[in-house]
Amino acid sequence: MSSLLSAVRPRLSGPSWLSPRVLRTEVLAGLVVALALIPEAISFSILAGVDPRVGLFASFTMAVTIAFCGGRPAMISAATGAIALVVAPLAKEHGLGHLVAAVILGGLIQVLLAVLGVARLMRFIPRSVMLGFVNALAILIFMAQVPHLIGVPWLVYPMVAVALLIMVFLPRLTTAVPAPLVAIIALTVFAVVAHVAVPKVGDEGTLPDSLPVLGLPDVPYTLATLRLIAPYALGIALVGLMESLMTAKLVDDMTDTRSNKTRESWGQGVANVVTGFFGGMGGCAMIGQTMINVKTSGARTRLSTFLAGVFLLVLVVALGDVVALIPMAALVAVMIIVSVSTFDWHSIAPATLKRMPWGETIVMFTTVTATLISHNLAIGVVLGVLTAMVIFARRVAHFAEITSVLDPDGTTRIYSVHGELFFASSNDLVYQFDYADDPDNVVIDLTAAHIWDVSSVAALDAITTKYATRGKAVDIVGLNRASARIHDNLAGKLKVGH
């Protein structure tokens, strides 16, 4: 609990965004992110089977709350596709009230997981899984834009091309204004002045015209309701935390800074609780918008996250008529740039693949493939980690080696074991000894080995038993303190085969 309290304790130093240059960057980044959030939030609302206002309000409350409570500055949290997929069946079968209740419960579970230290599990995610996560995400971001490029007026394609050119070449001339914002404004002005008939943000759904209202979920407060929403709440909590912590780690690597993962876990929970009480659909970190904020726009502080939420609400409520005029071509182009810049092209370069161990490549492609098939980043990461564990166990299993020598008087055979002894490596240990021809005294030297689990103790018991049936004595020596502890506690107390 003390670690959690220290994690959420505010820093006493002054905010870095007081600098005019940083302030300008943060404000413009927040505006660009807010514009990109609008069609995404509307799309995720449709995916979840709820009114667009539910997704838009969720994006506002998530961004504003996480700006104060989160552990990774400049990371954007809002309504996401992953959470939409989790809650869609609940919304379809039982309505918005149960969805909102599940979001609140999911947030409480996230707070509990933060207290239990779930963020520390991030160190068990290998780099190859991170690469797969990033590459799969880039592909999913690009795939999400494809529907906006099919069956549309021909003018959409040159508009997307122009926006892409602006975002590629403008930063080479100046970085005073984010290139995505220039592209959005330029295409919007052109579409309005030329009266071109192209898909616009307003075509994606009705924008809200009022502020979100605080309230309780409209559900029966019974045990039956709790049993109904609990599985969905657990899904919201796990998927949301996994995506948020993975995104936080990605931003850490990108900015060469370290974030507080425990605080981020706690903050995600608080943000979802707040979002639920305002009738939102819940959410988590958004990698695409985070990349726009951090990598494309250069934001680094919490101010950009806070302003993204504020600008979003202002844009859809006060300036909804103006925002509705933004061509979807502009936002599609922004997301294509995000997709291309997010993808780790070095990871699939022929030279890299040639140097990389085959196991690392398999883990990366497993993560990517599983994510693309399921359209769920959490599933891809879990399968990637499991694949990495299997490959690691297989690799380490072959590191256990046994050598033997006969002492000068020929009365004792000394076996030296080198490597890690666990379930994968100890299975073959029993077959490395010459039970029939060894002398009456056998020494097994484990000075260069380590016992990790009960399987290794059982294997040593089996070896001792096989020698004992032939009237031969076995002396196990060289155990380090940890190995001796597990061996002394379990040796002779396990059922072994003869």
306-342 pLDDT, tens digit each: 999 999 999 888 888 888 888 989 888 888 887 888 7
Q: State residue 444 phi and psi, 5-degree precision.
A: -110, 110
> Dihedral of the CA atoms 453, 457, 458, 463 (nearest 10)?
140
Q: State residue 103 phi and psi, 5-degree precision.
A: -65, -45
CA-to-CA dists, residue 57 to 99, 137, 149, 204, angstroms:
14, 24, 27, 16
Q: Is the pLDDT of residue 17 over 70?
A: no
Q: Which residues contact 201 (CB under 8 A, 6 or more apart)?
A: 38, 39, 42, 323, 324, 325, 326, 327, 328, 331
pLDDT band at 123, cuts 50/70/90? confident
- How far from chain centre, in Å, is Cα 218? 32
Q: Is the pLDDT of residue 386 over 90?
A: yes
Residue 84's closest CA among 133, 51, 118? Answer: 51
What's the pLDDT at 127? 84
Q: Is the pLDDT of residue 205 over 70?
A: yes
CB-based contact 39:292 (threshold 8 Å): no
Sign of CA dihedral 422, 128, 291, 50: negative
Whole-number average pLDDT of the chain: 88
Q: Is the pLDDT of residue 133 over 50?
A: yes
CB-based contact 446:476 (threshold 8 Å): yes
SS3 of 115-136: the string is HCCHHHHHHHCCHHHHHHHHHH
Q: In this predicted model, which residue has the larger pLDDT, 344 or 9?
A: 344
The one-letter amino acid at 88: A
Q: Is the pLDDT of residue 1 over 60?
A: no
Residue 389's closest CA among 121, 116, 139? Answer: 121
Average pLDDT over residues 202-206: 78
What's the pLDDT at 464? 93
Q: In this predicted model, which residue has the larger pLDDT, 107 or 129?
A: 107
pLDDT band at 140, cuts 50/70/90? confident
What's the pLDDT at 7? 47
What is the tens place of the pLDDT at every residue in 92-102? 899 999 999 99
Strand-strand pairing, 441-451 and 473-477: parallel
Task: Out of 40-44, 90-94, 472-476, give the one with best mean pLDDT.
Answer: 472-476
- Tell me if residue 407 falls in helix, strand or coil: coil
Rounded to whole angstroms, the Cα distance separating 172 from 104 reads 46
Q: In this predicted model, which residue has the larger pLDDT, 251 or 494?
A: 251
What's the pLDDT at 422? 87
Q: Is the pLDDT of residue 498 over 60?
A: no
Q: In this predicted model, which residue has the larger pLDDT, 281 or 319?
A: 281
What is the tens place of the pLDDT at every residue in 156-186? 999 999 999 999 999 888 877 778 888 889 9
Q: Is the pLDDT of residue 479 over 70?
A: yes
What's the pLDDT at 251? 93
What is the tens place of the pLDDT at every residue in 388-428? 988 888 877 777 789 999 988 889 999 999 988 988 888 77
Residue 202, phi-psi category: left (phi > 0), alpha (psi -120 to 50), beta (remainder): alpha
pLDDT band at 201, cuts 50/70/90? confident
Q: In this predicted model, which residue has the larger pLDDT, 205 or 14?
A: 205
Q: Which residues contact 271 (CB under 8 A, 6 or more apart)?
A: 61, 62, 65, 66, 69, 70, 77, 107, 283
What's the pLDDT at 487? 92
What percent of the chain shows pLDDT beyond 70? 95
DSSP conformational letter for 365: H
CB-based contact 455:486 (threshold 8 Å): no
Rounded to whole angstroms, the Cα distance separating 411 from 89 reads 72
